[in-house]
Amino acid sequence: MIVLWFVTLAATGVLQILGEPAILAALNPLRAWDFLTQRGRGVLAAVGAIMLALTGAEALYAVMGHFGRRPVQWAWCGLVLPALALNFLGRAPC
């Protein structure tokens, strides 16, 4: 069921990207640099929020306790991160 959820997230993101390919400009590292340099003193809060959103750190430790490090790495890199990245890109404003 969880795999279906992440596949659905990825598919909806891909559909949005196909409808508005300019979204892929968000992958430009210069845009990330501009985002961080415009935050001033709030850059640590921004980076902290980004890391929490990308990693889901609080839940990750519980899952690693059940399955171990290697299966979590495979699931994260092979399914979860790509699905979330596609979904987030699909929601990005142009």
Closest to 83 (Cα-Cα) out of 93, 72, 92, 75: 75
Give residue 34's domain range.
Answer: 2-91
Give pTM, 2 decimals.
Answer: 0.58
As for how many domains the chain has, the answer is: 1
Q: How confident is the model at residue 69 (pLDDT cuts 50, 70, 90)?
A: confident
- What would the pLDDT profile of 4-60 be if each residue is shown by its tens digit? 998 998 999 999 899 988 888 888 899 888 888 888 888 888 888 877 776 666 676
Cβ(80)–Cβ(9) below 8 Å = no
Structure tokens at 55: 């990693």
According to the 3-state scheme, what is the secondary structure of the chain?
CHHHHHHHHHHHHHHHHHHCHHHHHHHCHHHHHHHHHCCHHHHHHHHHHHHHHHHCHHHHHHHHHHHCHHHHHHHHHHHHHHHHHHHHHHHCCC
**What integer is the mean pLDDT of 82-89?**
87
**What integer is the mean pLDDT of 71-88?**
86
